[in-house]
Structure 1
């Protein structure tokens, strides 16, 4: 039996859950075909999902087709829940990307495509809603090949039980070596085709209408024929991809085994044991004594597990790419904030991207979200699960900070009987790269243990910028120099010196004009009437956005505008669109990452952040003289440092 874990991903309303239902029905798992709009879909079992008609949480189902044992993970489709969808991608063998034939490739479809490429998930495409009058197979295929990959090739046209000659030739053309062999031999083996799919060179495309079960059998047969079981390690390993709570409030850790076998009572984390192993199918589960490599299970009762965590020999997954862009504060008048905090902590346990923060000094409770739909769902969860009616403020933008040129930061920590000095090179990196940490320091200059301390501390907390105190991003932090004392240095000294070196370097960057404030931007698609396109273009320019030349549709009389604009300016624009188009316009926005802030001076002035007053993130250092430690301001540290600068000004310019 071939075991495969497959996830279904799609833009909202593309028919993702409907396809899941159809696959389960045609495979014989379901006796009755459920529908999302009827509220009886097998995988949208949560009451909140039924009320809203969208998938909010990832769900698991199992089906068998011939000798294929398929674990199906259905993911949220709304852009506000992209982080939950991303959590699942890291444990998939294959993905099914659902594209609506009526809507084509949407902005969020492209986001999902980038995520699938990031996690290197082989992908099969199902073009849904082909029964619509406006559906055009050739047109949507051309769009797939142009916008996603030339390797998007129809696999649903068969000849003598296999692919047509045209399809085989198109498959071969996606790899030079395979093409050469194909021209010599005139054929391609199934193994070769499977390999090209697994290497993401070929993306089989199927067309149909899930609601009418059209094309579903062909997709099932394709999953059977063209997937292969990935190699697994002999020793135990597992990746956590989800945390949830069952209807009794018990905490569940969902994991995919990457190797070996997990048995009941095996030790998983610290001294915690897997006291029970559950295999879920929808809301129902069976208890099994063991789970083998490639399978998915839920383990109740564990604490301290988080999505992305590796267990056993499995490494941790990469840091998630999707990050929230809005910050909301809880209205302190509604409830006891400590009660609300406890509820939000439980929800944060399930979705770490909430980033719940509590300031005892300000008596302020905040969460980070993607948009208003997620906010509405959060409020409903607080009401349904915790009986709390919680109000939030209007929300504010989550800014980031970076540098535009390389700078060497110095941190020195030398109170009496303590000693550490650290030099960190801060370099700008590509947008969206986050923070990377490296070392370029001789062991003769700083011992291995101390270098390990520096690297660990660079990763130990969120580093903040010095413009508005926003998180630092898109930089490379490299240990390039330092000094320790054989007698007085301890690990805590290097923690202090490391953090101070980063902040001191950022202050230098600000002084030199190389500190930069970033804000989130939307990539938008705006559909209005042709008579309203002038108003729309004026609005986008007013919002500091840019757009491509508008396209018009002679049949519908509409016009489409695509481009980018700051989230701060566009987040409430949908209400304006609704008003001036009399409900006929449509605005789709997808977060397109961070870019330079369009009104940085205004934001910096309004925030009035004073980095030297942020004592938990001080850029100043501590030196010692006459048997006592004394503080030294950040701008005086380079002149007093015990280790000379590693880089000259010219070298720093060359590294920028």
Structure 2
């Protein structure tokens, strides 16, 4: 593994909504020569919020990348969403970063979403700087804010500056010396034996020694250098740029290894062609090269797509598209129509987390406001699903379209994108949970070849076995591959896996192995249609003999609340059906960990400010599904019900 100083630094900018991260991004790009004019969120002309909807709302919805040079270092600045409904987009971005800047407002201070973001950053041990923005705004403060940051975000914060005239238009950021007695860097001595001995026994360490120690501990994610400033006036942003250039570590990458990387964003052009943004961790990519992309499916299992790169642009490189993308860099490529966010080139980097995109546990029926535009709505949602692995659709038993969602803002943004980009006005029904089924035992069924009431000239035998939680669906064969014509084999496999979309109770079946145990055909009578029509009957019979249990989707949540509100918060969690896993104290705050039904998260999110006096923070991620308590819910079938052969045959005849 070779570490090269010339490798680009991929830097994320994260913050609570309205803390000023997009304004800070714009200021850094302008001051360091990447922009000729300074954009403004209020004016709607910022560089990274390129979409009309993002500019109008003043929030970042999708990640954007902008290159610049800081202190001689090539930096790819990644401006990420800050709204909780787009936390999935933030998680995707974190997986391709080398470091981060967390923006905190000097007026509002530590906000709930700020704590959520820092929790993710510290969990990943991602080197992080803190920038306290808006020191020129009325109500800005320094005294007390550092204590709030250490108490609510991270205990080991090293200020690199102080403020003058905070809360006034004349506010300035003044650098602090790192060396000397009572300097902020004395905090480092608590974690660095060499510095501690120098402070105790002398001679006192020089500033370059302290800065080197600060860089080491920043790289480990242990301490967090902090700068004060204002993105509006520019004060303090040069101190931040210097900290980025000197304190954040260079990425490690092996350019001679096989190509490996992660697709973290996908855009669709006016003509429908996709542009995918990839962070390369190892090796090289070149235009006109053929690549294979590996994908973890939302329900488990894996898939892959391939294509030839018709164009490859390296972010921050003005050369033509023949130039190679090398390890450590970010590039944009075209030529793989099936590419999706989260796809991997090559093997995953063992030193980085793999984000598996579990689908949301909620869905809502979406209808076109104008009758007769259902097909157009389906096509539009399919296009958006190519950009976001969380967008999935299905057709309900009533013939309506249902879409998975995270929250109210995401729903509003999705509706607005449909209107602006596709000319479709839509209406959403209330959200409902999406349940799943898992086999509880093994079950097997066989339908032998020969004339019968169904008239299918085919033999199909299938066995369903339960598998490990989270493994998805796996296909296996106990028959020889050449025992049937290839088209018949494909018909059985594709139809069997498709039939698992509706189990005994109408919900998708997961975490199982489906094994083909027996086959047979009669030439020239048998056709692929015989196998396609017969397979669901056999599969559902095997599943019925195995039995299934219905599971409800849950979210693993952590709430951080003041001590005097702990009882009210735990009471509401219990009332919402949560399983509380534990509570622990951290300073004057308490953290409650719980598993809560996905359908109750929005209610908890809405209630938390009132329960916690506006000081509670909520962090959540996909949790383990849990068995439904009480009678399992049923979902209306759309497959003609293979559990009832007569009904199923009537369904086939009517198609």
- TM-score, length basis structure 2: 0.68
* Structure 2 residue aligned with 1:449: none
Q: Is the 8 A contact 1:308 1:318 kept in 2?
A: no
Counterpart among 273, 278, 289 of residue 250 in structure 1: 273
Q: Is the 8 A contact 1:410 1:501 kept in 2?
A: no
Counterpart among 316, 322, 332 of residue 289 in structure 1: 322
CA offsets 1:381-414 (integer angstroms, 9 cap, x no match): 1121111222222222345678xxxx97324466
Q: Name the SS of the counterpart of 2:232 in structure 1.
A: helix
> How many Å apart are 1:152 and its aligned residue?
3.3
* Structure 1 residue aligned with 2:253: 232
Counterpart among 214, 218, 235 of residue 235 in structure 2: 214
* Structure 1 residue aligned with 2:410: 374
What is the RMSD computed on CA atoms of the aligned residues?
5.5
For the pair 1:264 / 2:287, whether they are aligned, the reply is yes
For the pair 1:173 / 2:190, whether they are aligned, the reply is yes
Q: Is the 8 A contact 1:465 1:506 kept in 2?
A: no
Counterpart among 395, 400, 407 of residue 358 in structure 1: 395
* Structure 2 residue aligned with 1:309: 343
Distance in 2 (alpha carbons) for counterparts of 1:298 and 1:240: 9
Counterpart among 70, 73, 93 of residue 65 in structure 1: 70
Q: Name the SS of the counterpart of 1:353 in structure 2.
A: coil
> How many Å apart are 1:297 and its aligned residue?
1.5
CA offsets 1:306-342 (integer angstroms, 9 cap, x no match): 2222224556972346753431212267343222111
- Please say which of residues 160-169 and 266-275 is displaced more in the overlay: 160-169
Q: Please, which runs of 5 or more residues in structure 2 have no aligned partner?
A: 1-5, 163-174, 293-304, 449-458, 479-492, 522-530, 584-589, 646-655
Distance in 2 (alpha carbons) for counterparts of 1:261 and 1:64: 22
Distance in 2 (alpha carbons) for counterparts of 1:63 and 1:4: 10
For the pair 1:336 / 2:373, whether they are aligned, the reply is yes
Q: Is the 8 A contact 1:466 1:506 kept in 2?
A: no
For the pair 1:100 / 2:105, whether they are aligned, the reply is yes
- Please say which of residues 51-60 and 313-322 is displaced more in the overlay: 313-322
Q: Is the 8 A contact 2:368 2:424 kept in 1?
A: no
Q: Is the 8 A contact 1:409 1:502 kept in 2?
A: no
> How many Å apart are 1:229 and its aligned residue?
1.8
* Structure 2 residue aligned with 1:197: 218
Q: Is the 8 A contact 2:504 2:544 kept in 1?
A: no
Counterpart among 15, 21, 37 of residue 26 in structure 2: 21
- Residues 139-538 of structure 1: pairs in structure 2 closer than 5 A: 139-156=144-161, 166-174=183-191, 187=205, 192-233=213-254, 234=256, 235-269=258-292, 272-279=307-314, 287-290=320-323, 291-312=325-346, 318-320=354-356, 323-331=359-367, 334=370, 335-359=372-396, 362-399=398-435, 409-412=441-444, 424=466, 426=468, 507=547, 510=549, 517-520=552-555
CA offsets 1:581-617 (integer angstroms, 9 cap, x no match): 9xx9999876565588899447x45x4689999759x
> How many Å apart are 1:346 and its aligned residue?
0.7
Distance in 1 (alpha carbons) for counterparts of 2:125 and 2:81: 20
Q: Is the 8 A contact 2:10 2:76 kept in 1?
A: yes
Q: Name the SS of the counterpart of 2:266 in structure 1.
A: strand
Q: Name the SS of the counterpart of 2:13 in structure 1.
A: strand
Distance in 1 (alpha carbons) for counterparts of 2:408 and 2:77: 29
Distance in 1 (alpha carbons) for counterparts of 2:113 and 2:607: 22
The number of equivalent residue pairs is 561
CA separation of 1:585/1:299 partners in 2, compared to 1, >3 Å: closer, same or farther?
A: same
Distance in 2 (alpha carbons) for counterparts of 1:264 and 1:62: 21
Q: Name the SS of the counterpart of 1:212 in structure 2.
A: coil
CA offsets 1:420-445 (integer angstroms, 9 cap, x no match): 86765656xxxxxx55899xxxxxx9
> How many Å apart are 1:80 and its aligned residue?
1.4
Q: Is the 8 A contact 2:157 2:226 kept in 1?
A: yes
> How many Å apart are 1:164 and its aligned residue?
7.6
Q: Please, which runs of 5 or more residues in structure 1 have no aligned partner?
A: 428-433, 439-444, 446-455, 550-559, 619-656
> How many Å apart are 1:183 and its aligned residue?
7.6
> How many Å apart are 1:379 and its aligned residue?
1.5
Q: Is the 8 A contact 1:522 1:566 kept in 2?
A: no
* Structure 1 residue aligned with 2:302: none
Q: Is the 8 A contact 2:66 2:77 kept in 1?
A: yes
Q: Is the 8 A contact 1:11 1:77 kept in 2?
A: yes
- Residues 595-614 of structure 1: pairs in structure 2 closer than 5 A: 600-601=629-630, 604-605=632-633, 607=634
CA separation of 1:10/1:482 partners in 2, compared to 1, >3 Å: closer, same or farther?
A: same
Q: Is the 8 A contact 2:103 2:131 kept in 1?
A: yes
- Please say which of residues 141-150 and 176-185 is displaced more in the overlay: 176-185
> How many Å apart are 1:566 and its aligned residue?
6.2
> How many Å apart are 1:34 and its aligned residue?
2.0
CA offsets 1:155-208 (integer angstroms, 9 cap, x no match): 446565769865444234347899789989975565554343233222222232
> How many Å apart are 1:52 and its aligned residue?
1.1
